[in-house]
Amino acid sequence: MKIVIAGAGGRMGRTLVEAVVASGDLVLSGALDVAENPNVGRDAGELAGTAIGVKVSSDAGPVIAAADCLIDFTRPEGTLMHLEACAAAGVRAVVGTTGFDAAQRARIELLATRIPIVFAPNMAVGVNAVFKLAEVAAKILGDDFDVEIIEAHHRHKVDAPSGTALRLGEVVAGALGRNLEDCAVYGREGITGERNAKTIGIHAVRGGDIVGEHTVIFAGTGERVEVTVRSGSRMTYALGALRACRYLKDRKPGLYDMYDVLGLR
């Protein structure tokens, strides 16, 4: 499969370039970044340590049209523009971008009626295992345990809480028969009163070069259960994204996630 990577000049983009080049079965056919990025025009492989003859471009349309699958971990507005190009060219897409609002999510769902898209807040295999473990734990422990979610990321992350933390909240809320929009509490300050047993707390930490850490705490009377995943490298996300690309090879148009990719349904 021929792969094009959006945001190739960024930290995650460089990791994705490295992963595709090292994969052995995937080929990097294109690399994209915004016109003002100083890496436009440079060899995408050099950004990851090895020249490969593929230059970073800001002209998304033709670069996407020449590929089999797009991988996009950028920002909502740019991702949607790239997905429009994918839909026009019949190109598959793997989206790890977070921070979409409801209208943007609806647009992705509409585009997925034309092309196959894997859309997930976190592509790492271990993180998706934690989604499943948290779901199982919530079903076992039930309403007798209070739920708190804590996430930590590097100082450069622009959205909070992380898409992964929100997805964890959705998974746990669903297992408990709740709607996260109705029961989420984002941080606490001042005189908050006694904790409502039906709430799910979500808290964000930002600092240093933390790649990503997520913990779901189930706090009961006399015992506490914690499910934690710590990412030490962005390569975990990149390798999951490559699995998603391979999964899409023979798929019909539709909206898929990493549960589909990993067979966790």
Residues annotated catalytic, as ranges: 153, 157
114: left (phi over 0), alpha (psi -120 to 50) or beta: alpha
First-to-last C-alpha distance (Å) of the chain: 26
Question: What's the CA angle centered on 78, arms 124 and 238, to 5 degrees?
Answer: 20
Task: Give the three-state DSSP class for 54.
Answer: coil
Cα–Cα dist 236/249, whole Å: 21
For 173, other C-beta atoms within 10 Å of its C-beta total 20
Q: What is the identity of the amino acid at 227?
A: V
Q: What's the full length of the chain, in residues? A: 265
In sequence order, the β-bridge partners of residue 31 are 5, 56
Closest Cα partner for 124 from 216, 202, 234, 13? 234
In sequence order, the β-bridge partners of residue 204 are 151
Cβ(135)–Cβ(171) below 8 Å? yes
Cα–Cα dist 264/57, whole Å: 37
Classify each residue of 190-222 as buried b or exposed e, where b means 16 or more C-beta atoms within 10 Å of its C-beta: eeeeeeeeeebbbbbeeeeebbbbbbbbbeeee
What are the backbone dihedrals phi and psi of residue 199, each rounded to the nearest 5 degrees, phi first?
-80, 160
